[in-house]
Structure 1
Amino acid sequence: MPRLISAMEGFGVIGIVILAGYIAARFRIGGPTAQMVLNRFSFFISSPCLMFAILSKQPIQDIFHPSIIVAFASALAVGALFLVLNSLFFHMKAADAIIGSLNSLYLNSNNIGLPVATYILGNPALVAPILVMQQALFTPVGLTALDVSTTGRFSAKEVLRQPLHQPLLLGSIGGIIVSAIAAKTGHYVIPDVIFKPISMIGDSAVPMILMAFGMSLRGSRPMRKGSNRRATATVVLLKNLIMPIIAFLVAYFLLGFRGTELYGCVVLAALPTGQNVYNYAARYNVGLTFARDGILLSTITSPVIIAVIAAVLT
């Protein structure tokens, strides 16, 4: 129970930072371009630094823990399921459907995942495989799809070059390389004079993303008339309920996880949608309302689902 309470406190911290962004927008602090500036700075600079700082300090065996199979299978399943449901019922445009798929599968592994892994699971390194999977696979694939759907052009050369245009992926790969070198040599090879400023810049990523998200709430009403309420509700259902169920089935029956490993996989699958999805929507100026509503509602419902999982599996 104390760990669960601590995790709920973590959700409260996130809410306060979002509220700070809303208040800043309410009083026009930063001017009309403040939200865009925060989004772009976090996308191109702060978030890559954060990924490098986290992954470079993780033992390489933790980054590639077998639980990555659970995270991959459950995320791929709900992302594909949303695309199928969209083709059958919602008929959203390609770019919006991609945002919906990302909303369904993308985990908030940083600013909520780390506190949950620390306070509920007792091991913050458990989110490392999710960071790798999302940044090295789902993010470049999703952003490539957004590039193609928004420009109307498909180029194999551009698809192959797309990962080189993703600062988050480059930061993640750099962190993995440093982690591997550290495992081989027995010591961390980046001197403090270089690592500390990278880490400091990375620390600004989460609050900037959260405050930009809070700014987006100014003058908007979630699930308002005219928004695709059915699609948004479907995203939240897929993310917060179906994904943990799939994670349990894969972890329990396919990989034979039990106890702490099983519990960790299911809890992490119940994390809300990551704010990065809104960042990507803003980057391409598509599905902004859809992304915002999905993130907000999944963040509200996720603590309830995690509490139920804690009650059932502990």
Structure 2
Amino acid sequence: MQAILNVAFPIFGVILAGYLAGRWRILGGEATGALNAFVSYFALPVLFFGTLARTPVQAVLDPALMLGFSLAVVATFGVGMISTRLAARERGRGGLAAMSLQGIASSWGNVGYMGVPLCLAAFGEAGLPPAMLTVIVTAVVSMVFGVMLIELEVAAGHGPVKTFLRAAFNVARNPLPMSIALGILVSAVGVPIPTPAEKWLDLLGSAAAPCALFAIGLFLSDKSIKSGLAEAGLATIIKLLLQPLLAVLVLPFFIDLNSVAGKVALLMAALPTAANAFVLAKQFDISVEQNTAAVLLSTAFSVISVSALLVWLRVS
């Protein structure tokens, strides 16, 4: 109960504040876009870079954690693809692109906007390096692999190499992976950061957690569930139950679950579907209703599942 009050309640409370601000029309669609842009292009990248640039590389690039977490993400991606094939068979929505988007909804947790603030609240600065590693893994597996599969159907005839390069370029130009890579590079080279720059990084980076959580609430307030509940329900079950279960079973072969990195990996595996699933569906105009519903349903039910996991992990 202490974990719910000390960690989960503040996190979901900020999300609720953003949701209410949107529903009560205190902030509208333009505010949502502006806040998302601030978080995506400024606050979170600065937080990631500032933390990693001052953290030894060996404390971040943990091959065991990377491999163990990747297996859980890849497995749920595959199960998600199969689930949409079965659910959509009679309705003719079971193409490769739709399957890939369901795989993304089932495996891509909200590791950036929700996961990093959650780990920061639960474990302090020690939780940030492993949390950022899971961001890397999730982006590479779900975005590169998932977008490549979507493009294979949408842009048929362009060839797999060109499709892969296009997907990889989309990840490379994303400010979050870019800031992570740059922060690791600065740490590896050992470039000293001047005190004024450090204070700037800390000041701007401290805005990342509350603004990201508030932005989630604003995003959810503008969406509604109209259809696609079958696929969304399956994606929610896979994301909130199967992925953390797989993490519990697989991760002990690679890392100690009682360590901070182990607990961070379990929390990241239990997070709801990222809004990126909706963004990609909207971009390709495929399975928009299903992925929107998956984001809404999984976020709503994660209030219970994530809180329960925090209690189980004895996080206070």
- Aligned residue for 2:187? 179
Identity of aligned residues (%): 23
Contact 2:4 2:311 in 1 (8 A): no
Aligned AA for 2:49? F
- Aligned residue for 1:52? 49
Unaligned segments of structure 2, at least 5 residues: none
How many residue pairs get aligned? The number is: 301
- Aligned residue for 2:86? 88
Q: Deviations over 1:75-128 (max 9, x none)?
A: 111111111222233244443332221121112223332343234445322312
* Counterpart-to-counterpart distance in 2, 1:201 and 1:121: 20
- Aligned residue for 2:75? 77
* Counterpart-to-counterpart distance in 2, 1:114 and 1:219: 23
C-alpha distance 113-238 of structure 1, shift in aligned 2 (>3 A): same
Q: Deviations over 1:231-282 (max 9, x none)?
A: 1001110011111110011123x23635345544333321222233334444
User: Which SS does the other structure have where 2:274 is aligned?
Assistant: coil
- Aligned residue for 1:104? 106
- Aligned residue for 2:158? 154
Is residue 3 of structure 1 aligned with residue 7 of structure 2? Answer: no
* Counterpart-to-counterpart distance in 2, 1:173 and 1:193: 22
Structure 2 counterpart of 1:138, from 135, 142, 147: 142
User: Which SS does the other structure have where 2:113 is aligned?
Assistant: coil
How big is the shift at 1:140?
2.7
Q: Please show how residues 165-314 of structure 1 align to structure 2 within 5 Å.
A: 165-182=173-190, 188-191=191-194, 214=217, 217=220, 220-222=223-225, 224=226, 227-252=227-252, 254-255=253-254, 257-260=256-259, 262-312=262-312, 314=314
How big is the shift at 1:307?
3.5
Contact 1:7 1:115 in 2 (8 A): no
C-alpha distance 301-57 of structure 1, shift in aligned 2 (>3 A): farther
C-alpha distance 273-179 of structure 1, shift in aligned 2 (>3 A): farther
User: Which SS does the other structure have where 2:112 is aligned?
Assistant: coil
How big is the shift at 1:229?
1.1
Contact 1:21 1:213 in 2 (8 A): no
Unaligned segments of structure 1, at least 5 residues: 183-187
Which range is displaced more, 229-238 or 294-303?
Answer: 294-303
Q: Deviations over 1:14-58 (max 9, x none)?
A: 2212332444xx46x66x666566666765666555543443344
TM-score (norm 1): 0.77
Q: Deviations over 1:138-177 (max 9, x none)?
A: 3233334444444444332352253344444333322221
Aligned AA for 1:189? P
* Counterpart-to-counterpart distance in 2, 1:51 and 1:119: 15
* Counterpart-to-counterpart distance in 2, 1:7 and 1:149: 42
Aligned AA for 2:269? A
Structure 1 counterpart of 2:60, from 52, 63, 77: 63
TM-score (norm 2): 0.76
CA RMSD of aligned residues (A): 3.5
